[in-house]
A and B are shown apart, each in its own frame.
Chain A
Amino acid sequence: MVELAPSAPGHRPPPHPDGEPLVELRDLSTGYERTPVLQNVDFTLRRGEFAGVVGPSGSGKTTLLRAIAGQTRRFAGAIEATPRAGERALRLGYVPQVEAINWNFPLTVGQAVLLGRWREMGWRPWPRRHDRELLANILERLGIGHLANRQIRALSGGQQQRTFLARALIGDPDLLLLDEPTSGVDIKTRHEIMHLLGELNRAGTTILMSTHDLNAVATHLPRLVCVGEGALVADGSPEEVLTPEVLRRTYGAEMLVLRRGDAIYVVEHLDDAMTGDAEETPVPVAPVGG
């Protein structure tokens, strides 16, 4: 680990707010059909938290999200959720990876978003005035109010994410689960999405998201869960979990962690950094984000 220089106190909120537990996974082993993907997972998410799941491809990030969404097979252990009063299950807002969405499907933004409210819309196939007002509000809030009649295929990357975020939010969820919301988008869109999620979290939404992006996304989250080879490797604030030791156990690769006070930068290609290539690709030493 390389300590660069001390700096101002951290700007991130504490990783474990004092909210009541929303979801608790206890010694959970879960997966698909006959194959467990995650083993012996203990994990508690509290109301109001904003947590990220990191790990290499195939490590079980999506499985963790899907287990919470009740979409996996449970082999052992327990999942306990605390739904709101009078309801049997948590209300979930799930935002899948954009790659998993069938963009050729004939749907407009409005139609896609209203799917998230299918239960509240009653028996009618068509939305009532109240549903249409809610739709207009949510689209406006996410800055895509003018796109209600646009085909989902004809959207930019950021608009696509906002559309499916709107579908998740229109059902007034207890928990927002996002699978790689920043994958495949440009830097500006990634920044906008993270800014939007931060705002939603400050307004009280509990968020759990998976991400591949250690530096631009994970280091800015209040809490990180590292998943490697089907097990939880570490759980804590980025300061606590982003260490060469944890990253080695998570990714099975040597990584360099640069710190400057509140800022953390993970050098993912250590070989490059340790050889002459590092000069061609300067390692940033100034605080990132902020």
Chain B
Amino acid sequence: MGDLTEPFQFEFFVRGMVAATLVGLLCGAVGVYVVLRSLAYIGHGLAHSIFGGAVVSFVSGISFYIGATLWGVFTVLLINAAARRRQIGGDAAIGIITTCAFALGVALISRHGQFTRDFDAALFGEILGITSGDLAVIGGVLVLAAAVVFAFWKQLLFTTFDSDVASTYGVPVPWVEALFSLVLAATVIASLQVLGATLIAAALVIPPVTARLLTDSFTRMFTLAALLGGASGLVGVYVSWFIDVSSGATVVLLQGALFALALVWAVARSRWPGSGSGERLAAIEGAAID
């Protein structure tokens, strides 16, 4: 029994676990909008782009959070501007801008010597290196995201469901989209230390998709995605202590396992007509429903 409580003796571990829980919750909730708008790629791209920003801020000697925020906002605005040009298209715009930003980070690292521990953390996450300052940033972003989602719940929902029609009903769609992009960028920045650039997209996508398999209600999907994200952060970090595996990877693998369970459950239920699971499965696959 003593073994099971062993990690709690260490303050850095408790901080890491709290950080992973909050980041899981944050990514799960924000990810609902990402998934429903089919923007999974933007989360992935943004994380890689912000890695470039992290390197630039390290090389130029400014704070990671200031550098990454400026970089993140710049990238988001650039993606939005490029995506509006129909000749390019959103996915190509994201691909070009974010990979170039990532490549810039890698180029700067190769110019300035080897991978340091900091860059390792930015790429793969280093949860046990979380400081109370990092924790304050994560908490701040969570409060910001919660405030934006609460205050703009209806506008976000309408824009996510159908942005074209939302604007005919007077929703200021460009503003809502810009505000959401900033929340997404802040989420990615706050999550970088915990999950790393390579794993953030998973935390943004897996809990919402799992929640979608389990419910047909937007409100329940939102709540469930946040809870699944938070719980997998908490449990993932705790388990990672005992199995001696990278905590970010354990969190994501746990989310993957929960998704697999939900999928099995949905497939099993779809055999009973009227359960709705068959349709939900099709919805996840993006298939058309007659």
Contacts and interface: CB of A to CB of B under 8 A. Distances in A.
A binds B: yes
A69 interface: yes
B162 A118 contact: no
Given A107-B218, A112-B161, A118-B158, 19 more contacts: A33-B86, A70-B168, A71-B164, A94-B165, A96-B164, A101-B162, A102-B161, A103-B289, A104-B282, A104-B283, A104-B286, A108-B216, A108-B217, A111-B157, A111-B219, A115-B169, A119-B169, A151-B216, A153-B283
3 tightest A-B contacts by CB? A125-B153, A104-B283, A118-B154
Interface in B168-189: 168-171
Interface SS majority for chain A: loop
A230 interface: no
B169 A105 contact: no
B150 interface: yes
Contact of A106 (B151, B153, B218): B218
A258 B153 CA distance: 54
Contact of B161 (A71, A105, A119, A171): A105
B289 A116 contact: no
Nearest to A149: B217
Contact of B169 (A108, A116, A151): A116
A176 B170 CA distance: 14
Of residues B162, B166, B168, B218, which shows the largest number of chain A Cβ atoms within 10 Å of its Cβ? B168
B198 interface: no
Contact of B170 (A89, A96, A104): A89
Interface string A50-71: 0000000000000000100111
A69 B86 CA distance: 21
B165 A96 contact: yes
B145 interface: no
- State which size class the interface on A falls in: 20 to 34
A147 interface: no
A273 interface: no
B276 interface: yes
Of residues B162, B169, B218, which shows the largest number of chain A Cβ atoms within 10 Å of its Cβ? B169
Interface of A: 33, 66, 69-71, 89, 92, 94, 96, 100-108, 111-112, 115-116, 118-119, 121, 123, 125, 151, 153-154, 171, 177
B151 A104 contact: no
B63 interface: no
Contacts of A102: 161-162
B219 to A, nearest CB: 8
7 contacts: A70-B167, A106-B218, A107-B218, A115-B161, A115-B166, A119-B170, A154-B276
- State which size class the interface on B falls in: 20 to 34
Contacts of A106: 36, 212, 215-218, 221, 283
Interface in B254-290: 276, 279, 282-283, 286, 289
Contact of A115 (B154, B221, B279): B154
Contacts of A94: 165, 168-169
Contacts of A96: 162, 164-165
Contacts of B218: 105-107, 111
Contacts of B215: 106
B158 A71 contact: no
A283 to B, nearest CB: 33
B232 interface: no
A105 B216 CA distance: 8
Contacts of B276: 151, 154
Contacts of B164: 71, 96, 100
Interface string B131-172: 000000000000000000011011101101110111111110
Interface in B55-88: 86
B169 A125 contact: no
Contacts of A69: 168
A262 B282 CA distance: 48
Nearest to B153: A125
A125 B167 CA distance: 19
B30 to A, nearest CB: 16
A154 B283 CA distance: 12
A279 B68 CA distance: 75
Contacts of A177: 168
B158 to A, nearest CB: 5
Nearest to A171: B169
Contacts of A154: 276, 279
A185 to B, nearest CB: 13
B154 A121 contact: yes
Nearest to A99: B288
Contacts of A121: 154
A66 B165 CA distance: 10
A118 B165 contact: no
Contacts of A151: 216, 276, 279
Contacts of B221: 106
